[in-house]
Structure 1
Amino acid sequence: MNTTNINKFALFSLTRKHEIMLKLANKLVEKNYKIMCTKGTYNYLITNGVKAYLIEDILGIKSEYLKGKIKTINPLLHAMILADRENIEELNELQNLGLIDYVVVNFYELNFLNFENFLSSLDIGGRALINSAVKNFKYVTVATDEEDAANIIKELETLGTTSYELRKKLAIKAMEYLINYESKCYTFMNEVLADRFSFFLLLNEGKKLRYGENPHQRAYLFKYETDPEIFVEKISGEELSYNNLLDIDACIKILSEFEEKTCVIVKHTNPCAVYSNDKTSNVELFLKTYEAGSTSVYGGILAFNFTVDKELASLISNHFFDIIIAKDYEDSSLEILKKKRKTKIILCKNIGKRLNKAWILRTITNGILIQERDLHEITSDSLKIVSKRIPTEKEISDMIFAWKVVKHVNSNAIVVAKDKLTLGIGCGQTSRIDATKIALSKAGIKAKNAVLASDGFFPFRDSIDLAASYGISAIIEPGGSIRDKEVIEAANEHGISLVFTNIRCFKH
């Protein structure tokens, strides 16, 4: 049936408002649609020059109740969305109202501060709108974010309307948006009201990778956005492999610890070298980091939490790295780095940003393990000095730096550092003394007056004695061993400052 004589509407109800939504609204007005919306969205649109109408002005009846708790729960509104455009009886029933062909909606942000705040933030009408729009996607286009709006605008400009394929795609995406929202609600309510833990994970559109950890293994990448602000973009080079993605992730996590200008080199997800210094040049920062990890860095992953300039790029180009990651690149630096065809150049605009609270997943045979991301921070005030010798401010600063690094090293892990530069890293050892030997042997004579960090307590005094033989002046460790007294005695015998964090940072 021809619906050209029936009023055409687009319904906007937005919590998260973005400039592209204004562009979409204006584009729909150009296509002879009337924009109907809730009060907040109405004020936003008219303030920005979009011709819009309140829902109640279209329906001719009050649409908001209980101070806005109910805004879009109205049978007439949903009838305008759900009507079968090929059913004469249904169209005649809505002749004096019209049809809603576009539903543009996003929800209130959930507030998990406490249960009362959660209930107050719980969206009601928006969820119902999405269900109605999805149910009638054959005719109705639904949008929940800026990307959807951009895709709709593109088709309105080229086709004059939206295609069935786009409506189908957007309906699936809207249902995913709804499921994610509902799962968060269920998880929180289950935990608060029933004292049970549940976890939902929706994975789709897996991207096939070249191969897995080894060439004979298949692998896919699925989106699981814990930190959507940290966006990884490949500028040049081959497609990223499974191992590449793990190493990039390791760099992101390490750099999230540091506000100062920092360089890190990673190999097999472990740091080879880390250096933080706001006062030195970019070139000097790289050179010292490279030197600190010189025996391991070939073919590694190089990452910076700052912009790579031409001078730094020229220096980097003399060495082979599998991947280079930076917060940004000067155009002149990219011209240099792109010539290294075997090197993958990665842009990560927000690298260095503190990571969000999130659940971390790992699979085991017949199960999935999940734990909170380790975001615990230590400060000088939180440290417990257990030795006779009090550490200097510089030693404390270096110990905190070394602790930030050691928490990203596979256990058993030891880090030797001085002046916020790692000098030796011992990782993945089955005994702590072996990890200590590796870290100290790498540091060599540079270990004199350096600090040492351990991700777990020392079960015996042997590591302290060995550290003393290299001239280590201060040690940071969790404490908690049944032989803590012996370890403290060893530190006192050697005049070493020993501090406990009272928290460990194992990484398996």
Structure 2
Amino acid sequence: MTHPVATDHVYVGRALISVSDKTGLLDLARALSALGVELVSTGGTSSMLRTAGLAVRDVSEITGFPEMMDGRVKTLHPNVHGGLLALRDDDEHLLAMAAHGIDPIDLLIVNLYPFEETVAKGADHATCIENIDIGGPAMIRAAAKNHRFVTVVTDPCDYTQLLDQLKANDGATTLVFRQKLALTAYSRTAAYDTAVSTWLAGELQETAPRYRSFAGKLAQPLRYGENPHQGAAFYTDGSRREGVSTAKQWQGKELSYNNINDTDAAFELVAEFAGQGPACAIIKHANPCGVGKGASLLEAYKRAYHCDQTSAFGGIVALNQPLDAATAEEIVKIFTEVVIAPGASDEAKAIFAAKKNLRLLTTAGLPDAKKGGLAFRQVAGGFLVQDGDVDSITAADLKVVTKRAPSEAELADLLFAWKVAKHVKSNAIVYVKDGATVGVGAGQMSRVDSTRIAARKAQDMAEVLGLAQSPTIGSVVASDAFFPFPDGLLTAAEAGATALIQPGGSMNDAAVIEAADKAGLAMVFTGQRHFRH
């Protein structure tokens, strides 16, 4: 028997098209038809092509069976999968095709039922189940496996490249092109299965399923990672959580790996104050160097900036309200890497336009601080997976453990400080006064060191601002975890703090409480800690 031997170039004579996302479909189909490619299709895709005047065969003609069970069964047939999987240089495969009337399929164009979008819209369980594609992934995997002979396209963004290939190669595609599309195809089906399994785990409230996978879609290749010698890329997970992944960039050069990481940290922090009036967070190296609330965004920004002007230089600014001109005018007075906000006025954009290196990102809203999703981190040989750190502590949840209860003003600052401490690397100490951070100690091996560093930074800023005394005098302090000994608490008291908020739970709680009482401090326990490593 004679047959075409597999070469680099493989001619495309027949295409099977079955798509949920019909973006660019008609232009593609017309171009394929003009190149002499026979079109085979299913259901709604077939109807759309035929209505447009294109010659198309229904897949039922190939299988000999009508589509049935509400479309659940239409392509799961040997005449389809044989056409995709047959090796064109294998005599036995060719004999089997001839014996059973199986025609080769050279090009598969399939995208899947919109399961991720259906889940994101909050559809009910039954609707989500019906949007789990079965035939599509099966065909994609078959075509990708046989990419020596079959071209598989799973994303409309590849249509132009496909047509360019066919035109440049007299109706054929190259092996390298088919290999790249096969990689995309397997990655797509893996991501799709990941979305289904993740959703089902959530439906069953299964926190530790036997297998756990993560998937993402490339948002952009990055110039490098944390350092220039590290390759990197940014992927989105399809959750559509407001933030860097959904933001529109109005100006400035491409975001770096560190920019994205820090901007995410800043926006997640400022989202803690959604609906609580204007607030601003300034982040440097994933840690807050200033957080403030105010009667206006301008005031909130100034109060955040005055916590640590040195660290704010070259930092990330996040706002919980749309950026206005007055705040923009103040921000551009120093070098800032990125500003992210849920919107920006035309006047603010015009002000930023003069600073070509400043990136401005806007979103449609704030991330929901009450929904944390999953957090994961790679370790040697595996992953650590946990629920996101969602804080639900209110004044009613606090336990006063000292003789003196906090005043109303102290209580407001304690809750503010607690929200900020959640976003500071452990060991975290946050001094707050009148709705603004005045000192932040982060990432130290000793809680006492964090307490001292935060107080020292506050003293330094007092000198810069020309204040008569450190702003920690009359402040409150939040600690992300318990004070194991009284020394950290006493250090805060020496800096002028009057009230503290901490989880409690130490074996030495009684000694710490006694020290607080002797110092005249008010202290409350949350019963919840916020380690952030």
TM-score by length of 1: 0.75
Kindly provide the amino acid, as one letter, of the partner of residue 458 in structure 1. Answer: F
Kindly provide the amino acid, as one letter, of the partner of residue 28 in structure 1. Answer: A
* 2:136 is the alignment partner of 1:126: yes
Kindly provide the amino acid, as one letter, of the partner of residue 377 in structure 2. Answer: L
Deviations along 1:148-171, one digit per CA (max 9) or x if unpaired, are 213315755996779546544332
Distance in 2, Cα, partners of 1:385 & 1:98: 76
1:377 offset after TM fit, Å? 1.2
Kindly provide the amino acid, as one letter, of the partner of residue 134 in structure 2. Answer: I
Q: Which moved more, 1:397-406 or 1:170-179?
A: 397-406
- 2:318 alignment partner, SS class: strand
1:129 offset after TM fit, Å? 1.0
Structure 1 unaligned spans of 5+: none
1:415 offset after TM fit, Å? 0.7
Summarize the alignment of residues 461-472 of structure 1 with structure 2, pairs less than 5 Å apart.
461-468=486-493, 472=497
1:263 offset after TM fit, Å? 1.8
Q: Cα–Cα, structure 1 residues 246 and 226, in superposed 2: closer, same or farther, change >3 Å?
A: same
* 2:511 is the alignment partner of 1:486: yes
Q: Cα–Cα, structure 1 residues 507 and 4, in superposed 2: closer, same or farther, change >3 Å?
A: closer
Summarize the alignment of residues 445-464 of structure 1 with structure 2, pairs less than 5 Å apart.
445-447=470-472, 449-464=474-489
Kindly provide the amino acid, as one letter, of the partner of residue 505 in structure 2. Answer: G
Summarize the alignment of residues 31-430 of structure 1 with structure 2, pairs less than 5 Å apart.
31-32=32-33, 36-37=41-42, 55-56=59-60, 59-65=63-69, 70-82=73-85, 99=105, 101-106=107-112, 109=115, 123-137=133-147, 140-144=150-154, 148-152=155-159, 156=163, 164=174, 167-181=178-192, 198=211, 207=221, 209=223, 212-213=226-227, 218-226=229-237, 229=240, 230-231=244-245, 236-237=251-252, 243-260=258-275, 261-276=278-293, 280-330=295-345, 332-341=347-356, 343-347=357-361, 349=363, 352-354=366-368, 356-363=372-379, 370-372=384-386, 374-380=388-394, 381-391=396-406, 395-430=410-445
Distance in 2, Cα, partners of 1:53 & 1:416: 71
1:254 offset after TM fit, Å? 2.6
User: Is the contact made by 2:320 and 2:366 (CA closer than 8 Å) also made in structure 1?
Assistant: yes
Give the root-mean-square deviation of aligned CA atoms: 4.7
1:414 offset after TM fit, Å? 0.8
- 1:308 alignment partner, SS class: coil
Kindly provide the amino acid, as one letter, of the partner of residue 267 in structure 1. Answer: K
Distance in 1, Cα, partners of 2:12 & 2:141: 27
Kindly provide the amino acid, as one letter, of the partner of residue 152 in structure 2. Answer: V
Kindly provide the amino acid, as one letter, of the partner of residue 149 in structure 1. Answer: P
1:197 offset after TM fit, Å? 5.2
Kindly provide the amino acid, as one letter, of the partner of residue 106 in structure 1. Answer: L
Distance in 1, Cα, partners of 2:351 & 2:360: 14
1:477 offset after TM fit, Å? 0.7
Kindly provide the amino acid, as one letter, of the partner of residue 37 in structure 1. Answer: T
User: Is the contact made by 2:291 and 2:304 (CA closer than 8 Å) also made in structure 1?
Assistant: yes
Distance in 1, Cα, partners of 2:95 & 2:30: 28
Kindly provide the amino acid, as one letter, of the partner of residue 73 in structure 1. Answer: L
User: Is the contact made by 1:491 and 1:497 (CA closer than 8 Å) also made in structure 2?
Assistant: yes
User: Is the contact made by 1:80 and 1:99 (CA closer than 8 Å) also made in structure 2?
Assistant: yes
Distance in 2, Cα, partners of 1:5 & 1:245: 42
Deviations along 1:451-507, one digit per CA (max 9) or x if unpaired, are 321011012234434444555443211111111112223444555442222222222
Q: Cα–Cα, structure 1 residues 287 and 42, in superposed 2: closer, same or farther, change >3 Å?
A: farther
Distance in 2, Cα, partners of 1:151 & 1:75: 28
Distance in 1, Cα, partners of 2:182 & 2:391: 42
User: Is the contact made by 2:429 and 2:477 (CA closer than 8 Å) also made in structure 1?
Assistant: yes
1:74 offset after TM fit, Å? 1.3
Kindly provide the amino acid, as one letter, of the partner of residue 186 in structure 2. Answer: M
Q: Cα–Cα, structure 1 residues 359 and 433, in superposed 2: closer, same or farther, change >3 Å?
A: closer
Distance in 1, Cα, partners of 2:31 & 2:221: 38
